[in-house]
Amino acid sequence: MNARLPDPASCPLCGQANRCAMEVQRETGQPQPPCWCTKVDFGTELLARVPAEAQCLACICPACASGAKSA
């Protein structure tokens, strides 16, 4: 098997850091406040752009999510 898993700290759409609080907590062991993404409506169109292999494994970053505010 040569399949690469998505990097959970990188946005599956642009590859930039997604600043996911849950991933920071997993990496550091330090408790984090609720993630910024819990207050965002990503919309079905934006979520549909996430590659199947990254769905539910890597968070969309704030920059990519900002386009979803009007959705």
Asked whether residue 48 is assigned to any structural domain, the reply reads yes
Which residue type, as a one-letter code, is found at position 60?
I
Asked whether residue 4 is assigned to any structural domain, the reply reads no
Q: How far, CA to CA in Å, does 66 sit from each of 3, 31, 41?
A: 30, 26, 10
Confidence of residue 47 (pLDDT cuts 50, 70, 90): very high
When divided into structural domains, the chain yields a total of 1
Residue scoring higher pLDDT (2 or 23) = 23
Given a cut of 70, is residue 12 above it in pLDDT? yes
* Domain interval for residue 51: 21-66
